[in-house]
Amino acid sequence: MKKIINDVENIVPEMVSGLVRTNSDLVKEIPGTTAVVRNDAGFASADQVGIVSGGGSGHEPLHAGFVGDGMLSAAVAGQVFTSPTPDQIYEAIKAVDKGKGVLLIVKNYSGDVMNFDMAKEMAEAEDIKIGTIVVDDDISVENSEFTQGKRGVAGTVLVEKILGAAARSGMALDDLVKLGKKVVDSTKTIGIALKAATVPAVGHPGFDLGEDEIEFGIGIHNERGYSVEKIQPSKKLSQELVEKITGEFSDKSGDFAILVNGMGATPLMEQYIFANDTLDALKAKNINVSYSRVGNMVTSLDMVGISLTIMKADPEWIKWLNEPVKTIAW
Amino acid sequence: MKKIINDVENIVPEMVSGLVRTNSDLVKEIPGTTAVVRNDAGFASADQVGIVSGGGSGHEPLHAGFVGDGMLSAAVAGQVFTSPTPDQIYEAIKAVDKGKGVLLIVKNYSGDVMNFDMAKEMAEAEDIKIGTIVVDDDISVENSEFTQGKRGVAGTVLVEKILGAAARSGMALDDLVKLGKKVVDSTKTIGIALKAATVPAVGHPGFDLGEDEIEFGIGIHNERGYSVEKIQPSKKLSQELVEKITGEFSDKSGDFAILVNGMGATPLMEQYIFANDTLDALKAKNINVSYSRVGNMVTSLDMVGISLTIMKADPEWIKWLNEPVKTIAW
């Protein structure tokens, strides 16, 4: 294994330190944690519901890259592919509560769900009102190594963007929870891998694929998917994913948003080619793409691969997706 | 070779199509070319010197990702690792000239220098005033496979940002050329690779490195560097690069800007760890970092590696680096 790191044990604090030191106008560390909170001039006077997300590290820029005005208020980084601890999540909640309550956006992994729930109880004991949204956009498999039900993957960033804009607009906590559930229900993702990720503490890829093989339905922690196939042209790959994902939407009218997400080691060139093919495949189905985004948003360390997220979106969600934010990575 | 592509011959037009279709509020294609030009509402009334950059593809988001208000007016994409043709560059020049002349920002490769120069002559024959800045920030080697003198690498994006802001502020062409030369002279880069890039038409990495080896001084087209060493901790790597680069600056007082640039397949986690170590190494030398940036800006397809750029910056350049822009990737 060759990686640009120092001690495997210090990867996360050193990463968070590098992120904060190079973006001190946007974020700062919450002392004694590997959580970051907004540090922009507008945060002190922001009179809104706070939004906290987080999870295991290795998915950068998720979540810390999306902290800022109009998106997350704070993000909590756990060890690589490991849930953050309840006390760190609790510190983040306290750092962002303005008396209007705090919304937790949690990817559906057993560890995250449990630890965010414990932090919620700690905060409620301090009379902080908490709402929780669990994101489970990955339609490729039911249940998985670390999950009961479906996994939360790249669609999370779209959920964070829409709820961040809605919270900034003044929406109350209860309404944000209702909106979040509707957004999650309308968001569907499948990922494919050409090469698995190498977790630093493990030192080799999480699973092996042949020189001409590709895996459909992978998760963002090296979870295997639903089939291994021979590598195919981008057009075929995008058609397969579009077919599977759009099959989940009974109503194909109205606005749709898409995210073509690089898994970490996939050149942007290939992401744009795949996006081009995906737009063709959606056009052939008369599906109207009102918002599209391409890039490394929710990665899996050095995994080579891509995921496609399709969201059936209310017109207001499209407006919220387009609103400017001040973050590192949106 | 596993890549998410269709025909190798169509990689660049399909990539440009995907980029434009997913960012039509920002850029559009110049018909009959693989060049893109600003498409934002402000472009029609922008009364400024136009800025055109470009070069071989495979370095995304450079250059098309940096087209927009406050940065480039247009970008020309050649085939992978191959200069764009003079006629395409000429079309881009014509698309952005507002009567105040056009500045060309060219990375120092023989093909690019020649083809941008031919396009310049074509434009001057039409009475369009042209200025040229050649970027040669890579201090690792003199001359190289495709270069006379030093190579133009990641520092190019900082040059584009500063000149883009200066042009937007109303600076005249002659002054932009003078400023550009000063900025280039103040910008120094070295890159390292853990794994070479695989050019799609070639199908295998451009050179081989052992399982524990790292190459110092690589270029962005698989050009070999100045030494192969055993992999070292990030702290050691950053110290070596900081030592070599800062040795180029006789005056170490005042403001410096840095860019930690991922080469395409390097996780953001490692880039932040390296940035953290680089800030420590610069602090130990009492060098004042007034601007810092981390991310995949000037890549080399799926190369695993990183480059460090250090610029000795006038206070006004720091202001220009911080000014907001509307681009895909800045």
CA–CA distance, B234 with B285 (Å, rounded to integer): 18
Residues of chain A with CATH 3.40.50.10440: 12-185
Q: How far is CA B104 from CA A229, A277, B165, B170, in A?
A: 46, 32, 15, 17
What's the pLDDT score for residue A24? 97
CA–CA distance, B271 with A4 (Å, rounded to integer): 8
Binary contact (B6, A233; C-beta < 8 A): yes
Could you identify the residue written with the tokens 């900025």? B183
Binary contact (A11, B268; C-beta < 8 A): no
Mean pLDDT confidence for B173-196: 98
The secondary structure of A180-197 as a DSSP string is: HHHHHHTEEEEEEEEE--
Q: Nearest CB to B292: which of A22, A195, A277?
A: A22
From A100, A120, A221, A244, the catalytic residue: A221
Is the bond preceding residue A204 a cis peptide, omega within 30 degrees? no
Determine the topology of domain B12-185 in CATH: Rossmann fold (3.40.50)
B47 has pLDDT over 90: yes
- Catalytic site residues of B? 59, 221
Q: How many CB atoms lie within 10 A of CB A23?
A: 23
What's the pLDDT score for residue B327? 98
Using an 8 Å CB-CB cutoff, list chain B residues near A237. Answer: 4
Binary contact (A22, B61; C-beta < 8 A): no
CA–CA distance, A199 with A127 (Å, rounded to integer): 39
CA–CA distance, A112 with B179 (Å, rounded to integer): 51
Binary contact (B273, A5; C-beta < 8 A): yes
Residues of chain B with CATH 3.30.1180.20: 187-322
* Chains A & B: contacts with CB separation below 8 Å: 182
Give the residue from A19, A22, A24 with the most B CB atoms within 10 Å of its CB, the best one to mutate.
Answer: A22
CA–CA distance, B239 with B247 (Å, rounded to integer): 12
What's the pLDDT score for residue A139? 97
Is the bond preceding residue B61 a cis peptide, omega within 30 degrees? yes
Could you identify the residue written with the tokens 């953290």? B276
Judge contact between B327 and B68, C-beta under 8 A.
yes
The secondary structure of B231-260 as a DSSP string is: ---HHHHHHHHHHHHHTT-S---SEEEEEE
Pick from A12, A71, A76: which is nearest to A40 by CA?
A71
Mean pLDDT confidence for B230-239: 98
Binary contact (A266, B58; C-beta < 8 A): no
Q: Nearest CB to B293: which of A22, A272, A304?
A: A22
Query: pLDDT, tens digit, for every residue of A77-136?
Result: 999 999 999 999 999 999 999 999 999 999 999 999 999 999 999 999 999 999 999 999
What's the pLDDT score for residue B145? 81
Query: pLDDT, tens digit, for every residue of B119-141?
Result: 999 999 999 999 999 999 999 98
Architecture per CATH, B187-322: 2-Layer Sandwich (3.30)
Using an 8 Å CB-CB cutoff, list chain A residues near B294. Answer: 18-19, 22
pTM of the full predicted structure?
0.97
Judge whether A59 counts as a catalytic residue. yes
Q: Nearest CB to B15: which of A19, A273, A329?
A: A273
Q: Nearest CB to A273: which of B5, B233, B267?
A: B5
Using an 8 Å CB-CB cutoff, list chain B residues near A269. Answer: 11, 15, 57-58, 60, 301
Judge contact between B305 and B296, C-beta under 8 A.
no
Mean pLDDT confidence for A275-282: 98
Using an 8 Å CB-CB cutoff, list chain A residues near B296. Answer: 268, 296
Query: pLDDT, tens digit, for every residue of A187-237?
Result: 999 999 999 999 999 999 999 999 999 999 999 999 999 999 999 999 999
CA–CA distance, B86 with B118 (Å, rounded to integer): 6
For the record, the structure tokens of B61 come out as: 């988001």
Beta strands in chain B (DSSP E): 27-29, 35-38, 50-57, 74-80, 102-107, 130-135, 187-195, 213-216, 227-230, 255-262, 288-295, 304-313
Give the β-pairing of B130-135 and B187-195: unpaired
For residue B197, which amino acid is it? Answer: A
Query: pLDDT, tens digit, for every residue of B194-220?
Result: 999 999 999 999 999 999 999 999 999
ipTM exceeds 0.90, yes or no: yes
CA–CA distance, B318 with A104 (Å, rounded to integer): 37
What radius of gyration do chain A's Cα atoms show? 19
Q: How many CB atoms lie within 10 A of CB A182?
A: 13
What's the pLDDT score for residue A187? 98
CA–CA distance, A231 with B91 (Å, rounded to integer): 38
CA–CA distance, B186 with B206 (Å, rounded to integer): 30
Binary contact (A272, B60; C-beta < 8 A): yes
